[in-house]
Amino acid sequence: MTDRYCVFGNPVAHSKSPMIHAAFAEQTGEDIDYTAIEAPLDDFANTWRAFAAQGGRGANVTVPFKEEAFRLCDELSPRARRAGAVNTLVLGDDGRTRGDTTDGVGLVRDLAHHGVRLGGARVLVLGAGGAVRGVLEPLLVAGPSSVLVANRTAAKAEALAADFRDLGEIRGGGFDAVEGPFDLVINGTSASLAGELPPLPDDLFAEDAFAYDMMYGAEPTVFLRWATESGAMAVDGLGMLVEQAAESFLLWRGKSPATGPVRETLRRSL
Ligand code: NDP
């Protein structure tokens, strides 16, 4: 029987994950079926259990279910435990549900593809929501000289930074506490969705700095346009999406697909 996988979200019709996993399956010769399922907002755990009972072997989880997925797991990876969120569910042969988060690995791999050196870098992370919480561990493990988390609600950034202080030099604060220069600026806010730019000083970027917006789309975001005008090299989060999917695929199927061709196909489809 073909193993079934899906992405759960609400809404989820826009998701690129079915396209990405179909490409991975074709490339690796894995016989899987991957669909998008809109889970009801009030019954995520039962939606997953019903899917598993009907041959579901695993799932990706997107907005707004990552915390609920975290809570329903029988076992959690250390990185998911720290992130407090799960974007990958794996059903074991023993019927137990294991949870992991692959967003952070996805970001760090995509940065590496773009030649960004994290070791010794001065890093600014904008935002303190779920996406940022999910990426801080692999970012800090890569050895930056410092990480500043800046958020509209300063207290959230301060609390978040405190949770990761054992892993490296990290501070949190409001946008008014931001003082450059930085070698890498990652926008993990959803401000780009509203076409807004967080209030940031003009002298933010060091020479040869890199700017990364976790959001992606057919057009560069207002953050990416501003970063380019400020002299930084600017890239959107499409590669992160493909890399986190590849890490999920590895967890499910034990195979690492090549991500470059899938990223190119996806870019053309936007
Ligand atoms: P959350 O809702 O958890 O957090 C949103 C964050 O954005 C908060 O820090 C919030 O600040 C801030 N924010 C919202 N609006 C504004 C604004 N107008 N100005 C400044 N700050 C603002 O969202 P997520 O963390 O889940 O997602 C954040 C972004 O990351 C989204 O754009 C999402 O699409 C993207 N993403 C991309 C992925 C990829 O694979 N490429 C994976 C996961 C996420 P406050 O705390 O003050 O409300």
Q: Do domains 3-101+240-269 and 104-236 have the same CATH topology?
A: yes
CATH number of 3-101+240-269: 3.40.50.10860
Q: Is 66 a catalytic residue?
A: yes
Per the CB < 8 A criterion, the answer to whether 41 and 12 are in contact is no
State the pTM of this model.
Answer: 0.95
Atom in ligand 1 nearest the alpha carbon of residue 132: 25
pLDDT score at 130: 87
Partners of 170 in the β-ladder: 147
pLDDT score at 191: 94
H-assigned helices in the chain: 17-28, 44-53, 66-72, 78-83, 103-113, 130-141, 154-163, 222-229, 238-253, 260-269
pLDDT single digits (tens) 190-233? 999 899 999 999 899 999 999 999 999 999 999 999 999 999 99
pLDDT score at 78: 94
Catalytic residue among 21, 57, 66, 109: 66
Distance CA 15, CA 227 (A): 27
Other Cβ atoms within 10 Å of 94 Cβ, number: 7
With a threshold of 0.95, tell me whether the complex ipTM lies above it.
yes
Q: Taking CA 138 as the corner, what is the angle to CA 135 and CA 144, rounded to the nearest 5 degrees?
A: 105
User: Is residue 52's pLDDT more than 90?
Assistant: yes
Domain boundaries of the chain, sorted by first residue: 3-101+240-269, 104-236
User: Is residue 1's pLDDT more than 90?
Assistant: no
CATH architecture of 104-236: 3-Layer(aba) Sandwich (3.40)
pLDDT single digits (tens) 87-106? 999 999 999 999 999 999 99
Residue 188 CA, ligand 1 centroid: distance in Å:
5
Residue 129 CA, ligand 1 centroid: distance in Å:
6
> Span 63-80, mean pLDDT?
96
Nearest CA owner, ligand 1 atom 17: 191
Q: Phi/psi at 100 (nearest 5 deg)?
A: -145, 165
> Span 48-65, mean pLDDT?
96
Strand order of the β-sheet with 56-61 is 32-38, 3-9, 56-61, 88-91, 97-100, 75-76
